[in-house]
Amino acid sequence: MKKQTDETIPWRKCRIPRSQPKTAAEVLRRIIAPDADLEELLGQSKDWRTKLCAGKIPVTRAIAIQIESETGIASSWLLGNPDQTPVDESGRPYTIETFRWWRSMIQDGEWPRRKAAKPSAFLPQLVAVGCAAGKAGKLSLFLEGLQSFIDDAKMNFGTDCMAGRRAASALAKSPLLERVILHDDGFDSKHLEPMSDPLTLATQRGDSKVYYEMSRIDQFCRR
């Protein structure tokens, strides 16, 4: 019996088009397609959008939040299962009408999303990661990464110096926070000479710590 090959099986000669991978980005693109191009909203190229919708570029949390801010679709849905019904940040079904309302609010100068957060809520996480870095003898890398993040955020959002000064004043009056010190494993703070560090000087002289912290904010704003 003659063995069948691709040449002897007619249907194998037909090219069956591959379906577009169903990603959350592709679902969103199709929803807003009548009104806008996703790549233009995000300031990206068409090639970038094609790769994003095909799943070749992963939707990171940062990308999801950016898409949410421009379109109104929930970032949690973008990071989840695309087979689920698309929803906005309030959990309501997301449609082209949702997108149109969101964009009209932005065009009218009204930011449709309002959020609030306590910076103090992030301190335990920073301390936890910083301590882990210290135990590994990599505190300098942690601090460098943290400073890079702050510098990048400053470039993207600017700096409210008055808010920084008020926060520095409030923190300087919290004695418990002064006891939280990050250091590499094996570091002995007793070897520091008294008054050699500005923070030590400020702690011992009370109000001078407030002045020192505010000076740091002013220096940061001038950079």
Would you give per-residue pLDDT tens digits along the chain (223 residues)?
444 444 444 434 434 345 555 899 999 999 999 999 999 999 999 999 999 999 999 999 999 999 999 999 999 999 999 999 999 988 899 999 999 999 998 888 776 666 667 888 888 888 888 888 888 888 889 999 999 999 988 888 888 888 888 888 887 777 666 666 777 766 555 544 443 333 333 344 444 444 444 455 455 555 5
184 & 125 share domain:
yes
CA–CA separation, 61 vs 125, rounded Å?
A: 18
* Cβ–Cβ < 8 Å for 221, 175: no
What CA–CA distance (Å, rounded) separates 117 from 131?
Answer: 24
Report how many domains make up the chain. 2
Residue 128 lies in a domain: yes
Tell me if 189 is assigned to some domain.
yes
Q: Is residue 5 part of a domain?
A: no
Q: Is residue 6 part of a domain?
A: no
Which of 49, 73, 107 is at the close of a domain?
107
On whether both 26 and 97 belong to a single domain, the answer is: yes
Closest CA to 104 of 188, 181, 35: 35
Q: What pLDDT sits at residue 12? A: 42
CA–CA distance from 171 to each of 175, 176, 215, 218 (Å)? 8, 9, 14, 16
Which residue among 77, 107, 137 closes a domain? Answer: 107
Structural contact between residues 75 and 68, judged by C-beta atoms closer than 8 angstroms:
yes
Among 52, 76, 107, the domain boundary falls at 107
Domain that holds residue 129: 119-222
Residues 60 and 92 in one domain: yes
Q: Is residue 150 part of a domain?
A: yes
Q: Is residue 92 part of a domain?
A: yes
**What does pTM read for this prediction?**
0.54
Same domain, 103 and 150: no
